[in-house]
Amino acid sequence: MRRVLVLHGPNLSLLGRREPETYGRTTLREIDEALKELAGHLGLEVRCEQFEGEGEMVTALHGALGDCQAVLINPAAYTHTSLAIRDALAALSDLGIPSVEVHLSQPAARESFRHTSLTAPVCRGSIAGFGPNSYLLGLRALAAILDREVRSDA
């Protein structure tokens, strides 16, 4: 079974309560449950993790090597600040593990400091602004990427 690491960044543990006008009322647990359900339909298995700390996220990304075939990541605020997470994603990409970046809100429509993503350039793609559906769209994109790579290896 192909496994996808779903990595949630800081403050996402407060979803459903934190700034609902921006992030909605769906909780992180509900997002993870929806991802697990969709993964089953796509022939995938997801391992969902949430960390507040940058170093913990980097460690989790390193742990994906040998355990996961792809990464779905919402780096949250670290999207705009973390070279360490960017470099970990780039290393995974170099080793054949694709990633897709997702965001609940649309960073480009928010404060100017959110307009630059350090992580997006090393991901296969980014999906933003669709609330919890951003995660589901991202998982579908990864399934298509993995399917395409299996076909090209055959």
List, by residue number, the catalytic residues. Answer: 23, 103
Nearest CA to 135 out of 18, 12, 6 is that of 6
Q: Give the DSSP H or E segment for 49.
A: strand 44-50
Q: How large is the angle between the packed helices 133-153 and 28-42, nearest 10 degrees?
A: 30
Beta bridge partners of 3: 45
Nearest CA to 13 out of 37, 30, 35, 34 is that of 30
Return the structure tokens found at 32: 């993870």
